[in-house]
């Protein structure tokens, strides 16, 4: 085993821990963004007492953006492609 291969193997163990932590963070944040987006998008149907001082178009547009970003974060957390090898 060459010295370069040993260094790669040791780095790989550290990368797995970082990837796992980052994946959990992406999944959690994705769920939060998704929940905020669903809340804003379906605000009139949820019958909550929380005031949202936005007009309907802005609220739905912002909710849709939050939903798309939340789905992207969940996808990125599942995919776990944080180290691209070119």
Tens of pLDDT, residues 22-67: 889 999 999 999 999 999 999 888 888 888 888 989 999 999 999 9
Tell me if 31 sits within 8 A of 76, measured CB to CB. Answer: no
Those residues with Cβ within 8 angstroms of residue 37's Cβ, 6 or more apart along the chain or in another chain: 62, 63, 64, 65, 66, 67, 68, 69, 70
Query: Given this model, what pLDDT does residue 6 score?
Result: 52
73 falls in which pLDDT band (50, 70, 90)? very high
Distance between CA atoms of residues 19 and 71, nearest Å = 19
Q: Which two tokens stand for residue 41?
A: 């998008």
pLDDT confidence band for 9 (50 / 70 / 90): low
Domain ranges of the chain: 31-86
Q: Which residue matches tokens 């969940």?
A: 74
Residues in the chain, overall count:
86
pLDDT top residue among 82 and 60: 60
């Amino acid at each position: 085993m060459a010295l370069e291969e040993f260094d790669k193997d040791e780095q790989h163990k550290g990368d797995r821990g970082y990837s796992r932590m980052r994946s959990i963070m992406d999944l959690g944040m994705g769920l939060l963004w998704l929940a905020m987006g669903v809340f804003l998008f379906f605000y009139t149907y949820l019958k909550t007492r929380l005031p949202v001082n936005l007009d309907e178009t802005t609220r739905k547009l912002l909710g849709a953006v939050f939903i798309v970003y939340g789905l992207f974060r969940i996808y990125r957390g599942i995919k776990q492609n944080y180290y691209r090898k070119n």
